Amino acid sequence: MEKSLPKGWVETKLGDVTTKPQYGWTTKSNNVGKYRYLRTTDIGKGSIDWHKVPFCQELPDDIEKYLLKENDILISRAGSIGLSYLVDGKIENSLFASYLIRFKPFIVPKFMSYYLNSKDYWRTISDNAVGIAVQNINAPKLQAIPFPLPPLAEQERIVAKLDRLFAQHEKIKKALDRIPELLKAFRQQVLTQAVESKKGTRKLKDFLTDIKYGTSKKSEYGINGTPILRIPNIENGRINDKDLKYSLLDEKEYDTLKLRKNDILIIRSNGSVSLVGQSAIITSEHENYSYAGYLIRIRLNANYEAEYLNYIFKSNFIRSQMINTSRSTSGVNNINSKEIQELNIPDIELDEQQNIVKRVESLFAKADAIEARYQALKAKIDNLPQAILHKAFKGELVPQLPTDGDAKDLLAEIMALKEETRGRKK
């Protein structure tokens, strides 16, 4: 690290610029009490909801020793090892738990806190973690973590710049986070228009030539049998055949359950009500496959377009019927073949159905293109904080000023102060 640091910086260790680390208080938590008991789980989201932090069941004789104060830095030593938190803002009367280690920085606290979120820090944590069942790290190893130290004034400028950049990043992220919901609403609006019919509705059974449950026979991986489509293979209205199992069907059952192009498979039973009624259309690629018992196959007559029906199965108009019809038994939601046949579907001429399919495909393709751009941009935005931190701790985020002095002098002052403090304690 030393060779890559700018002029005026110095490579040191975490323990050189903090007080001696301190392990937390060991007790059980309680629902009531006078002092809160801050644990690793309470700092996991980067902020503390003090109303959810429990109380200490027992208190130490020296409460002050474990009492949290502003600008304390806590680092988890087990479980979520390396996770850190800078204590700031409103602080409840609280002690910290034994799986946390407290450091008190002699430098700008937030500068250290930012470093404890950088990739360099996490790489060191990963290299030093021990344990199999529960990984852990101790205070001496934390003290020995390399730390890039700039002059005090530059630390303050870096923190100010990071605060601004991360505030901007948060605004961008919140704006981006709205896009999936906007696309979902757009697609649903397209489907809402797709089910509008001046002639009203008819029952699905009026357009069916066949409806049938799948095989009850066990399916397995790697056997020489018939490919069996299952619930995991139903994905976004299409068949995903990456996870296929096979079954040994006799000739009669295979002929009965053999899939044809434009068959539609419907999930009839699942613990999640949102999955019940989800469908997928069979293309020529999956003809002659068969399907499992938790699926129902429907086969349409020549007066209804399979692609159209498969699309509108995702509309709120059809979904609400399925959800209201489905029954829950022992936590499993079900819809049967009779209930599926009784679904109300738009009474639309075949040529209009086909035109609607073309419009839906065109609009969905545009939505998919926007979503792809969103995913690419989101990946860049998600990686941006680490890129910013990397620049910050290489000294590339703000300019170095000759008036800042040298971090070696700052480090010498800290060492002298620590020595003086140790002398007073003797």
294-319 pLDDT, tens per residue? 999 999 999 999 999 999 999 999 99
Read off the pLDDT of each residue in 127-144 and give the average, rounded to a whole number. 79
Domain that holds residue 283: 201-347
Same domain, yes or no, for 217 and 342?
yes
pLDDT at 89 over 90: no
Same domain, yes or no, for 12 and 122?
yes
Q: Is residue 190 part of a domain?
A: no
Same domain, yes or no, for 23 and 141?
yes
Question: Is the distance from CB of 101 to CB of 376 less than 8 angstroms?
Answer: no
Q: Is residue 146 part of a domain?
A: yes
Calculate ∠ Cα 30-33-35, nearest 5°: 100
Q: Is residue 21 part of a domain?
A: yes
Q: How many residues does the chain have?
A: 426
Q: Is residue 354 part of a domain?
A: no
pLDDT at 134 over 60: no
- Of the residues 297, 324, 347, the one at which a domain ends: 347
Same domain, yes or no, for 218 and 333?
yes
Per-residue model confidence (pLDDT) at position 198:
86
Same domain, yes or no, for 143 and 210?
no
Same domain, yes or no, for 91 and 211?
no
- Of the residues 318, 347, 376, the one at which a domain ends: 347
Residue with tokens 């619930």: 231
Q: Domain of 289: which CATH number?
A: 3.90.220.20
| 256-287 residues labelled b (16+ CB within 10 A) or e (exposed) | ebbbeebbbbbbbbbeeeeebbbbbbbeeebe
Residue 129 pLDDT level (bands cut at 50, 70, 90): confident
Measured from the Cβ of residue 226, the count of other Cβ atoms closer than 10 Å reads: 21
Per-residue model confidence (pLDDT) at position 385:
97
Per-residue model confidence (pLDDT) at position 424:
67
pLDDT at 158 over 60: yes
Per-residue model confidence (pLDDT) at position 131:
58
Same domain, yes or no, for 139 and 51?
yes
Same domain, yes or no, for 7 and 130?
yes
Q: How many domains is the chain partitioned into structurally?
A: 2
Residue 327 pLDDT level (bands cut at 50, 70, 90): confident
> Cα-flanking dihedrals φ and ψ of residue 73, to 5°?
-115, 125
Give Dmax over CA atoms of the chain in angstroms.
Answer: 95
Q: Is residue 343 part of a domain?
A: yes
Same domain, yes or no, for 255 and 146?
no
Read off the pLDDT of each residue in 194-211 and give the average, rounded to a whole number. 95
Same domain, yes or no, for 140 and 248?
no
Mean pLDDT of the chain, nearest integer: 94
- Of the residues 347, 366, 393, the one at which a domain ends: 347
Distance (Å, rounded) from C-alpha 369 to C-alpha 360? 14
Same domain, yes or no, for 7 and 100?
yes
Q: Is residue 249 part of a domain?
A: yes
Question: Is the distance from CB of 279 to CB of 268 less than 8 angstroms?
Answer: no
Per-residue model confidence (pLDDT) at position 201:
96
Read off the pLDDT of each residue in 229-246 and give the average, rounded to a whole number. 96
Residue 128 pLDDT level (bands cut at 50, 70, 90): confident
Per-residue model confidence (pLDDT) at position 95:
97
Read off the pLDDT of each residue in 238-266 and give the average, rounded to a whole number. 97
Same domain, yes or no, for 323 and 210?
yes
Q: Is residue 421 part of a domain?
A: yes
% pLDDT > 70, the chain: 97
pLDDT at 133 over 60: no
Q: Is residue 221 part of a domain?
A: yes
pLDDT tens digits along 28-83: 999 999 999 999 999 987 789 999 999 999 999 999 999 999 999 999 998 889 99
DSSP-based three-state secondary structure for 34: coil
